[in-house]
Amino acid sequence: MKRHILKWKQAQFSELKKIASQYKVIAIADLTNFPADLFQGVRKKLQGKAIVRVSKTKVIKKALEEANLKSTELIPVVKGSVAIIFTDMDSFELYGLLKRNKGSVSAKVGSIAPADIVVPAIDTGLPPGPALSDLKAAGLEVRVQGSTIAIVKDKVVAKKGEAITKPVAGVLAKLDIKPIKVGLNIVACYENGQLFLPKVLDIDSEQVFAQIMKAVQSAVNLSVEIVYPTKETIELIIAKAVRQANAIDALAKAKQPAEEKKE
């Protein structure tokens, strides 16, 4: 048994060391309390874009140490239950992809509601009995409808930022409502000898794009205003000059004496 484990570790070590030299980005992801089914979903999302491996921390650290990385900062980040991701996407692209592809999990008692959690008015399919009391305890307006319990109207059972109570968590589980979004937590990304942490990687791409567009427009306006010609603004500058020349010409003609106009 020990020999088998040793061979497995050696094979993992050799593979990780080899792969580490083939990709420009190496990322470490924390798997603590991350559901196995969601992890398999992440693997599928990354298929063809990245290689994902799970191994013992000692094996990963040793492989990284012997992979001749330009920096050793990544190695101390490998702690606990982790996955290692190899890809040619840049660090920000990888982080953004994982951030956009979160999965839903059941709410636990004490979890903080990320947004208002609403239980809709539906036929629950639950038979009358203990479930009736459970639904009422969560603040839901219910009634027995035939052989099942129906929720009469939509109800916010937890507001954004509130801790989820035991009755509410129980009801959400009964109704198979999974309000908590979780994603694979990237601890760090290593790229071209640099270590990028989540506080750097976690950017709002839409907001950044809007800021860039605003900056570009401001630069164009300034270029036109001070008559600083560039490839992007020369046509605007010429058009502005023509408009101004026409306006001056029209003003000059309007000020000519009537006699001059007749001549």
pLDDT, residue 260, reads 54
Taking the C-alpha atoms of residue 28 and residue 109, their distance in angstroms, rounded to an integer, is 29
Confidence grade of residue 203 (pLDDT, cut at 50, 70, 90): confident
Confidence (pLDDT) at 163? 93
Q: What predicted TM-score, i.e. pTM, was given to this entire model? A: 0.68
pLDDT in tens, 63-73: 998 887 877 88
Instruction: Name the one residue in this structure whose structure tokens are 């309000």.
Output: 179
Tokens 């924390």 map to which residue? 30
Phi, psi of 107 (to 5 degrees): -80, 135
Rounded to the nearest 5 percent, the helix, strand and coil shares of the chain are 45, 20, 35
Are residues 172 and 107 in contact, defined by beta-carbon separation less than 8 angstroms? yes
Query: Distance from CA of residue 79 to its chain's centroid?
Result: 23
How confident is the prediction for the chain on average, in pLDDT?
87
Closest among 32, 178, 30 to 108, alpha carbons compared: 178
**At 1, is the pLDDT very low, low, confident or very high (cuts 50, 70, 90)?**
very low
* 7 pLDDT above the threshold of 90: no
Domains of the chain with CATH codes: 2-102+183-203 (3.30.70.1730), 117-181 (3.90.105.20), 209-262 (no CATH)
**Measured between alpha carbons, how far is 185 from 33 in angstroms, rounded to an integer?**
11
